[in-house]
């Protein structure tokens, strides 16, 4: 399924000047683009007010013609400026800031993001892995810590000082939920120990923004976990991920659908590996492997959230089906229809 890539992406110019649309388009290309945008705008207007569709990140040149229609001077300009154009897409009312998982996003970068976003746009940001990893993966990048327990796991002080304070200072107007991704552990995690840590964390963290917890270990998905979230007004992330139970099975856990915020993250089909699909699906400009069951479950989840008047975020990764924007469009059409 590997696709060859063109040597030059139509998003990028050859110098530092801002160029128009893509090179020398056909005479009818602007009208075609305008017509598609109008069609998407009509579709977006038919979606529930409290539903926010978005993608796990936004810096994919392969989305030219799907999300991006202007031409950028170079890749650096694209990375720096493209969030503004992403936020103009008629169906995108949120975005995942996944880079926050690898290191806290600097206040200067958050301020630059905020300047590009319209009023009412909300982002979902991952919490730094130093806070959310029970133990360090057995990988050379972790050096002498590889395979060991993380003494700062779910440490509210570390979260507040390193993660929360920059966001509060520079991005509060556009902040949606924190995504607390409990990373896979190199050793077995006792569910009771996890619940004790989660309980202490949620008691102590600032509550300026909502919390949504994403599990990557199916043993932790229990009714007691759902009860603990409810005690603190937190939510579960219904994730479509290779080693977690399906969305429908997660929805059957008592209490998970009672939250005031419903979050779904569509990431990776069962049994698949991230790196392999990344290579196979690039440049992420077409649907390669539509996931019918996943879509059906997401529609059910969204409709239940709408019936309860809950806020609902649906974040889509390219690896779910091949192209996040096209998955969002397909889901929107199903809901609107």
pLDDT tens digits for 53-97?
999 999 999 999 999 999 999 999 999 999 999 999 999 999 999
Judge whether residue 136 has pLDDT over 90: yes
Banded pLDDT at 29 (limits 50, 70, 90): low
Mean of per-residue pLDDT scores for the chain: 92
Percentage of the chain with pLDDT > 70? 91
Give me the pLDDT at residue 10, please: 65
Note the pLDDT tens digit of each residue in 118-129.
999 999 999 999
Under DSSP, the state recorded for 85 is: H
Residue 34 banded pLDDT, cuts 50, 70, 90: confident
Which tokens is 23 given? 């090179």
Report the pLDDT value the prediction gives residue 8, as an integer from 0 to 100. Answer: 56
> Stretch 270-274: mean pLDDT, rounded?
93
Burial 180-210 (b: 16+ CB within 10 A, else e): bbbbebbeebeeeebbebbeebbeebeeebb
> Between 219 and 9, where is the model more confident?
219
> What pLDDT shows up at residue 125?
98
- pLDDT value at position 30? 62
Q: What is the mean pLDDT of residues 23-36?
A: 60
Residue 50: pLDDT above 50?
Answer: yes
Q: Are 160 and 154 in contact (CB under 8 A)?
A: no
Question: Is pLDDT of 5 > 60?
Answer: no
- pTM summary value: 0.92
Residue 28, pLDDT score: 41
Give the domains, in start order, of the chain with CATH numbers. Answer: 51-336 (3.20.20.410)
pLDDT at 11: 77
Closest CA to 6 of 27, 22, 26: 22
Q: In terms of C-beta density within 10 A (0-12 exposed, 13-18 middle, 19 or more buried), how is residue 156 classed? A: middle
- DSSP 8-class letter at 149: B
Residue 2 has pLDDT above 70, yes or no: no
Q: What is the mean pLDDT of residues 248-254?
A: 98
Backbone angles phi, psi at 15, to 5 degrees: -140, -170
Query: If DSSP codes are grouped into helix, strand and coil, which group holds residue 15?
Result: coil
């Amino acid at each position: 399924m590997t696709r060859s890539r063109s040597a030059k992406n139509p998003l990028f110019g050859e110098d530092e000047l801002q160029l128009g649309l893509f090179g020398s388009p056909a005479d009818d290309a602007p009208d075609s683009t305008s017509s598609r945008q109008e069609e998407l705008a009509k579709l977006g207007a038919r979606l529930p007010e409290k539903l926010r569709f978005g993608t796990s990140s936004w810096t994919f040149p392969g989305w030219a013609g799907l999300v991006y229609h202007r031409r950028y001077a170079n890749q650096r300009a694209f990375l720096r400026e493209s969030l503004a154009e992403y936020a103009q897409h008629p169906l995108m009312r949120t975005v995942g800031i996944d880079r926050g998982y690898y290191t806290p996003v600097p206040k200067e970068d958050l301020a630059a993001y905020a300047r590009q976003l319209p009023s009412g746009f909300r982002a979902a940001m991952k919490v730094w892995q130093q806070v959310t990893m029970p133990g360090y993966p057995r990988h050379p990048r972790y050096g002498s810590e590889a395979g060991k327990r993380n003494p700062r796991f779910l440490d509210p002080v570390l979260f507040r000082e390193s993660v929360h304070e920059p966001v509060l200072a520079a991005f509060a107007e556009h902040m949606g939920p924190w995504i607390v991704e409990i990373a896979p552990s190199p050793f077995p995690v006792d569910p009771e120990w996890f619940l004790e840590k989660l309980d202490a964390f949620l008691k102590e963290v600032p509550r300026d923004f909502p919390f949504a917890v994403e599990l990557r270990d199916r043993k932790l998905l229990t009714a007691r976990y759902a009860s603990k979230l409810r005690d603190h007004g937190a939510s579960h992330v219904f994730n479509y991920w290779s080693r977690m139970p399906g969305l429908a099975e997660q929805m059957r856990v008592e209490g998970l659908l009672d939250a005031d915020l419903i979050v779904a993250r569509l990431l990776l089909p069962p049994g698949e590996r991230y790196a392999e699909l990344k290579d196979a699906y690039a440049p992420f400009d077409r649907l390669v492997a539509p996931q019918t069951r996943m879509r059906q479950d997401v529609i059910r989840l969204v409709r239940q959230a709408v019936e309860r008047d809950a806020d609902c975020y649906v974040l889509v990764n390219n690896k779910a089906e091949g192209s996040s924007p096209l998955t969002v469009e397909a889901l929107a059409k199903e809901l609107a229809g």
